[in-house]
Amino acid sequence: MTKTVLVTGGTSGMGKAMALTLKKAGWNVVVTGRDADRLHQMDIALQEIQGEHAVIQMDVRDPEACMAAVNQTRHRFGRLEALINNAAGNFICPTDELSPNGWKTVIDIVLNGTFNCSHALVKGWQEDGVSGGQILNIVASYAWQAGPGVAPSAAAKAGVLNLTRTLAVEWGYKYQARINAISPGPIERTGGADKLAMSPEHAERIRRNVPLGRFGTPEEIADLATWMLSDQARYLNGECIALDGGHWLNKQPF
């Protein structure tokens, strides 16, 4: 039976690439996002690929909207096996200049949004008796390093990484589920690259810090995600794979 995956923040960048690649790989794909126009464009792009898909407008910060999206998906496809928590919000701001609402906004999208969607998903698993479902979280290497200038995102991603490991144990036992994460390095054509590599000079500095000498592509992230959700990765649980050309390891101390 064809399995169904829901990709949050799936209308651009890595989310879009993952949705398109997973549909090509034979998944039913549901894309969520906040922007109706972008969802419409994504709907058109997905129509080019054989198989079934849906687009749903919602904000991961709203728990009821997350539950409604999961239920809409279950109604359409029978059940929902997999979730990619890709939706994110981020901006560069020195922490001493950050407002409490700026902090809360990023934490709400990244950490609470991941919980909201995962929690809605597991309620669906319970009702449908899904065993062997999956969650893939998108984190960043500053989840385990420092994140100067992006404190809320770094703290939220650290929380998501911990949630990945916690649920890998809890829901591994309970639902035979696999919960994993990808830590993308600098990836071109993403909201993160647009926001964090602020000038061509800055982007070039980042590029030089990648041992493989280039930004990654959304399609490379999508290929890894597709493998991680596939049966080939059936013993992978609680793992975070850095796909970054060796970027996070490069401290250049000498």
Residue 38 or 79 having the CB closest to ligand COA: 38
Give helix then strand counts, H and E, for the chain. Answer: 9, 7
Residue 118 or 153 having the CB closest to ligand COA: 153
Chain positions 176 to 205 lying near ligand COA, rule: CB under 6 A, are: 191-192, 195
The two three-digit tokens of residue 148, written as one number:
């100067």
Q: How many residues bind ligand COA (CB under 6 A)?
A: 13
Residue 122 pairs with which residues in a beta bridge?
none
Among 35-43, 94-102, 155-163, 243-251, which window interacts with ligand COA (CB under 6 A)? Answer: 94-102
Minimal distance, residue 201 CB to ligand COA, in Å: 20
Q: Could you count the other beta carbons within 10 Å of the beta carbon of residue 18?
A: 31
Please identify which residue in 91, 115, 144, 248 interacts with ligand COA, judged by CB under 6 A. 91
Count of CA atoms in the C-beta half-sphere (13 A) of 1: 8
Residue 49 or 98 having the CB closest to ligand COA: 98
Residues in Cβ contact with 210 at an 8 Å cutoff, skipping those fewer than 6 apart: 185, 186, 244, 245, 246, 247, 250
Query: Does residue 94 touch ligand COA according to CB under 6 A?
Result: no
Query: Does residue 37 touch ligand COA according to CB under 6 A?
Result: no
Minimal distance, residue 93 CB to ligand COA, in Å: 4
Please identify which residue in 10, 15, 33, 89 interacts with ligand COA, judged by CB under 6 A. 89
Query: Does residue 149 touch ligand COA according to CB under 6 A?
Result: no
Q: Provide the strand spans (E) within 107-176.
A: 134-138
- Measured between its terminal Cα atoms, the distance across the chain in Å is 54
Contact 210, 244 (CB under 8 A): yes
Length of the chain: 254
Please state, in angstroms and rounded to a whole number, the distance separating the CA atoms of residues 197 and 209: 13
Among 41-49, 97-105, 119-127, 245-253, which window interacts with ligand COA (CB under 6 A)? Answer: 97-105
Scan for tokens 């054989």, then name that residue. 50
**Residue 235 a catalytic site member:** no
Chain positions 100 to 119 lying near ligand COA, rule: CB under 6 A, are: 101-102, 105-106
Active-site residues: which are they? 142
Chain contacts with ligand COA (rule: CB under 6 A): 88-91, 93, 99, 101-102, 105-106, 191-192, 195
